[in-house]
């Protein structure tokens, strides 16, 4: 992929394909704090939703008190400021391997992380590269099941220094790991075959809707199943979920909006986003519980990148137009 000359590309990929293709995004179905309210439905936003051949319809779902935005929760990003040499050395001293920032993720979750030509690339990868550059080390990526990431096992056991996996910050996860400041806010998108009469979840009574395991999107579908009368079909990975949608195994699919970007671009006449729901989910980078030194560096770099234009460049490369 094309890289900005202002960003370090020194990613060493250590792919451990032993895991299942679980989603590296959002909250799991056993995370009681995620998706506990019904997000508000919106029409697809131009900054995150690719163009489709079918005009999105509005929805009547109840409003949530949290509204996702395209660029991360700026109000929460209070970790900026100049890092001292002592700060950087303290963070480097926590790394499990000298000269490397070892990062766990779960593939695939494009555009945040995916394998292209033997290299793991994506939005999350580029964000972490900024941190690696600040530390003067290289990023080394391990593909591992998301269950171990969200539980804190991957970071607390010393398997990796950080987990950048399109992972939503939830109260339950904050109990077992440190989180960086938020770097992305994600909404849900409802996608249906082109020409479908379905425009919102309420229209799926008696029909099947596909969700992805371990996500707040799946939580949301399950929470509203009895209300709207649809059947939830769970898939272990986005690839299986999207294949089910394209082959007619389900009547609709719900997942984070950006994840559908490439699928829609590749199948513009076959599927369309009809509704987006504000989820209130924000992604953060997870670290070992109590590793405040490394967390401080992540917070500072993420916050500063939004001020110096680096974040904007990464966002527009992987997601689309950045509203700020």
Cα separation, 16 vs 35, whole angstroms:
30
Question: What is the number of other CB atoms lying within 10 angstroms of the CB of residue 195?
Answer: 10
Q: Are 280 and 163 in contact (CB under 8 A)?
A: no
Q: Considering the domain 40-71+186-281 in this protein, what is its CATH number?
A: 3.40.190.10
Return the bridge partners of 2, or none.
none
Model pLDDT, residue 155: 98
Class of domain 12-23+84-184+282-318: alpha beta
Beta strands in the chain (DSSP E): 12-14, 40-42, 100-105, 114-116, 119-121, 138-143, 162-163, 177-179, 184-193, 208-212, 231-235, 252-256, 271-283, 286-288
At residue 145, the pLDDT reads 87
Query: What pLDDT shows up at residue 300?
Result: 98
Question: What DSSP state is assigned to residue 179?
Answer: E
Q: CATH topology of 12-23+84-184+282-318 equal to that of 40-71+186-281?
A: yes
| pLDDT averaged per 10 residues in sequence order, the chain, 324 residues | 39 39 40 37 40 36 34 43 93 98 93 94 98 98 91 97 94 96 95 97 98 88 97 92 97 94 93 94 96 98 98 96 88
Give the model's pLDDT for residue 70.
41
Burial of 79 (0-12, 13-18, 19+ CB in 10 A): middle
Q: For 4-59, how does the pLDDT look when each residue is reduced to its tens digit (9 = 90+)?
A: 333 434 444 343 433 333 333 444 434 433 333 334 454 343 333 333 333 333 33
Rounded to the nearest 10 degrees, the angle between the axes of helix 85-92 and helix 123-135 is 110
| The pLDDT value given to residue 79 | 53
According to the model, what pLDDT value does residue 80 have?
A: 54
pLDDT digits (tens, 9 = 90+) for 167-179: 989 898 999 999 9
216 Ramachandran zone, left/alpha/beta (phi>0; psi -120 to 50): alpha
CB 158 within 8 A of CB 142: no
Domain residue limits, the chain: 12-23+84-184+282-318, 40-71+186-281
Contact 286, 155 (CB under 8 A): yes
Percentage of the chain exceeding pLDDT 70:
75
CA neighbours closer than 13 Å in the CB half-sphere of residue 283: 27
The encoded tokens of residue 90 equal 């303290």
Give residue 324's pLDDT: 80
């Amino acid at each position: 992929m094309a890289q900005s000359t202002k960003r370090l590309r020194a990613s060493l990929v250590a792919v451990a394909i032993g895991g299942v293709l679980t989603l590296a995004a959002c909250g799991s179905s056993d995370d009681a704090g995620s998706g506990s309210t019904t997000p508000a439905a919106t029409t697809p936003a131009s900054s995150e939703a690719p163009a489709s051949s079918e005009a999105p319809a509005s929805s009547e779902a109840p409003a949530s008190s949290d509204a996702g935005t395209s660029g991360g929760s700026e109000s929460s990003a209070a970790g900026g400021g100049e890092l001292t040499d002592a700060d950087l050395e303290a963070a480097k001293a926590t790394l499990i391997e000298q000269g490397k920032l070892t990062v766990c993720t779960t593939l695939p979750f494009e555009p945040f992380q995916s394998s292209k030509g033997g290299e793991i690339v994506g939005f999350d990868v580029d964000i972490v590269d900024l941190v690696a550059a600040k530390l003067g080390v290289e990023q080394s990526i391990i593909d591992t099941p998301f269950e171990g990431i969200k539980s804190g096992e991957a970071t607390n056991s010393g398997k990796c220094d950080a987990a950048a996996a399109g992972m939503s910050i939830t109260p339950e996860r904050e109990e077992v790991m440190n989180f960086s400041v938020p770097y992305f806010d994600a909404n849900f998108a409802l996608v249906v075959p082109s020409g479908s009469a379905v425009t919102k979840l309420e229209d799926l009574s008696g029909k099947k809707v596909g969700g992805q395991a371990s996500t707040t999107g799946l939580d949301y579908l399950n929470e509203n199943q009895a209300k709207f009368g649809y059947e939830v079909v769970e898939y272990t990975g986005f690839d299986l979920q999207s294949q089910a949608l394209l082959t007619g195994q389900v009547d609709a699919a719900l997942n984070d909006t950006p994840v559908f970007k490439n699928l829609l671009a590749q199948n513009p006449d076959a599927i369309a986003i009809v509704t987006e729901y504000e989820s209130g989910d924000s992604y953060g980078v997870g670290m070992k519980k109590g590793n405040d030194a490394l967390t401080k560096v992540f917070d500072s770099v993420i916050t500063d990148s939004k001020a110096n234009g680096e974040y904007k460049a990464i966002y527009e490369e992987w997601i689309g137009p950045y509203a700020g």
